[in-house]
Chains A and B, each alone.
Chain A
């Protein structure tokens, strides 16, 4: 990643191999973007009552419940998925009460924490999620060129080692979606599972709490002027969405195979069992190469026509960073 001449790339100036970035002063922690993903709801409510654990020098850190109506009813969403609602079209639409609740909510969040894409937007937003999939701790990255986020993720992975925290990169032009965190300059998704919707598991809650502690520590160190040298980060890049086999009426006719169930991040080779019909017949994976599946059997994705996602392993290079 070393560059011999200084040059400027959209807000980032490169001197040698260290990018000078503006301080990360305005930080938000979103919980309840999906109202039945309980770890984020519990953590954010805890920090709203008593924010001592999330204070850090040099940053204003705001815990915030993004979808209070969904949290109240303990459902994923009321009218439409808030975590798909931050499209340019929705955010720039004018009008009011006739819009779905989550679209109006997205506009409000964009006013409070954005506007998305502008210099006034929040520097960092952490969006807390749970999944029914056996994904462990997963950090979700939306851009392979976000060196700040890459360095943060590298820091977190090292801090929790030997426990693991994998990075999912969703930069796919068709499969990426407009998340609530995308309002910020540096959006960070935090997905911890497996946990059923509507259930609060102590181990999952604690894992999420620890990851956030390290993330905020990183921000404090960065704001105090620490230099983070260039590094590499292993990521899993979203490749494809695989749906359940369905009949002509759209009904599911097979289930994730027991051999694939719970095997998020483990290699899936061509010919490996993928689905099992109700009668016990195996349907194998017929891709052309080994992939790394994730979001295997996520409850919320049945209606989005997704049994699991395939990813490819990749190593990204992050330039060194330092506060400007």
Chain B
């Protein structure tokens, strides 16, 4: 595996509307970038044991003993087997919140929550996070009960992930393909994909937890196949043209209205339900209480997503809100020796 790292690998991309940048010239003037080839990819599923698409994609890859795609080493990993066994999100603790620097380095005994120990195991197997031995790319498969189509979720939008997003948008037409960026420093980044040198989650919905839908499976599988295809073409020397792409950056989360004992008193309003990524303006309805009152959105126009995600009730999140940003990215190709 090539150990060469160019200075561009870890650089966060520059938003086209950043105040220090001249919008009109940025996207066509960016210099071509050369990146190191990728040789090891991990395809992960079952991080939440009841999100069935990833569970079955990984199980199928394991059944077929998939180890490679062309010259790429591919490792399918069932990340939370205990949760998969009982078809629950987690057994003790949400595995996908265990990958902060602090939790990965905390001392764990046998009595520690299962998922904390498992996270450290996965970090040793596929990482370590931030280290030279980490897999080149970690893709983590998830489902949501929200109507989000296909989303790639990243912490840092590096050139590779922006190109992959564009590649997928061009080749998948059955569902919208979008990107969500979490603007969190790497040390505090908590989900599995940060373990790889490059990483992102593929989130596909809507699908109830515990259910395996063929249409959702088919589009997620296509996304995985396209990822591996892209990397092989990249490694083989193809140049991918630069361009622009939109991404949604998380701003904040909104909880349900609750009474004094903490019980939910309203449901997501029918006009908001299933309308992930449709712009929410001041005055638009958010919640419909059980007694028939409407709660409306006030303030900045923002884009809602993860609307009515089952697993977020306990995290006190009814939906999340994002700003939309346009990112420019340069043409890329693999470094020549």
Contacts and interface: CB of A to CB of B under 8 A. Distances in A.
Interface in A45-62: 45-46
Nearest to B292: A206
A197 B210 CA distance: 9
A276 interface: yes
Interface stretch (A89-97, A252-260, A311-319): A252-260
A260 to B, nearest CB: 9
Interface residues of B, number: 32
Contact of A205 (B145, B209, B267): B267
A252 B210 CA distance: 13
B267 A299 contact: no
Q: Is the interface of B mostly helix, strand, loop or mixed?
A: loop
B213 A200 contact: no
Q: Is the interface of A mostly helix, strand, loop or mixed?
A: loop
Given A197-B209, A197-B310, A299-B208, A278 B215 contact: no
B269 A202 contact: yes
A132 interface: yes
B211 interface: yes
Interface in A229-276: 251-252, 255-258, 261, 276
Contacts of B288: 202
A91 B321 CA distance: 51
Given A202-B288, A203-B273, A278-B60, A261 B268 contact: no
A257 B212 CA distance: 11
Q: A-B pairs with the 6 shortest C-beta distances? A: A196-B208, A299-B210, A202-B267, A198-B310, A255-B214, A132-B208
10 contacts: A45-B263, A132-B210, A195-B208, A198-B313, A199-B308, A201-B268, A202-B269, A255-B212, A261-B213, A303-B87
Given A45-B263, A256-B214, 20 more contacts: A74-B314, A194-B208, A196-B206, A196-B211, A197-B208, A199-B310, A200-B308, A201-B273, A202-B273, A203-B270, A203-B273, A251-B59, A255-B217, A257-B214, A258-B214, A258-B218, A261-B213, A278-B56, A297-B212, A302-B87
Interface of B: 56, 59-60, 87, 145, 206-215, 217-218, 221, 263-264, 267-270, 273, 288, 290, 308, 310-311, 313-314
